[in-house]
Amino acid sequence: MSELPKIIEERKSSRFPFDPDKPVSKENLKKILDAAKWTPTAHNMQNFEIIVVDDNAVLEKIGSIKSRISEEFLRENYEQLSFSKEELMKKKTGISAAMFPPEWTDPAKISEAVKKASPAPLTQSIRGSPTLLLIVYDSRKRAPASFGDVLGFISLGCLMENMWLMAQSLGVGVQILSVFAAPPVETEIKKLLGIPEYMKIAYTCRLGYPTASYPYLRVRRDIEDFTHHNQYGNKGI
């Protein structure tokens, strides 16, 4: 149990390419899926299915599907950017603009960048990953009395964290890919993998072993910044 705080703190998104020739062992994959099994879900609905893709031929077919960058994503992403290390450390939230192409970080250029951008194959997102976990849920169901199925989506977040922490403890890299849930991409994926129409893709976990590491600055707010003691606005504990 003493390892848990360290695992939580060191968990990170692995953004570099993974080694396609270094598969995730069945033993480690089973441990990650076992962590998924024990996910806390609203009303114990366990309203998720996980599609494991580790066949090279299937990965190639998925990789050939193309997606377009979303202007909505770029503009909302811009709000989370810091343009210097000092700014990021001061804000304690968001990410560094250095992680993106310059045309994605200038509001005046975003529309033109989207127009000029060609559809990109998902190979650019998969980046050599030997294993993908596609998380799908039944869109016909919701947690009882949960408007918009907020509790159901929270459950899917708990699922993500359970698997991610287990993978971290095993030295397996993880990156969450939201592009698989984009409507045009989701349609193609569902056809390819035989996913029923009523099932929706929540997100995809890209698993593997990074070929490099990028020491990007990870920032977090201090406890005193987000806690309120007995009354909102009474900061700290």
Domain boundaries, the chain: 4-68+119-210
Categorize the per-residue pLDDT at 180 as very low, low, confident or very high, splitting at 50, 70 and 90. very high
pLDDT at 1 over 80: no
Categorize the per-residue pLDDT at 217 as very low, low, confident or very high, splitting at 50, 70 and 90. confident
Categorize the per-residue pLDDT at 216 as very low, low, confident or very high, splitting at 50, 70 and 90. confident
What does the pLDDT look like over 34-69, one tens digit per residue?
A: 999 999 999 999 999 999 999 999 999 999 999 999
Q: Which helix (H) or strand (E) holds 173?
A: strand 173-177
Whether the CB-CB separation of 165 and 205 falls below 8 Å is answered with: no
Average pLDDT over residues 176-201: 97
With 0-12 / 13-18 / 19 or more C-beta atoms within 10 angstroms meaning exposed / middle / buried, residue 132 is: buried
C-beta neighbour count of 62 within 10 angstroms: 23
Q: Are strands 199-208 and 95-96 parallel, antiparallel or unpaired?
A: unpaired
Kindly give, in sequence order, each residue whose CB lies less than 8 Å from that of residue 204, ignoring residues fewer than 6 positions away.
Answer: 132, 133, 134, 135, 176, 177, 179, 180, 181
Categorize the per-residue pLDDT at 192 as very low, low, confident or very high, splitting at 50, 70 and 90. very high
The overall pTM is greater than 0.85: yes
Query: Whose CA is closest to 161, among 15, 14, 60, 11?
Result: 11
CATH topology assigned to domain 4-68+119-210? NADH Oxidase (3.40.109)
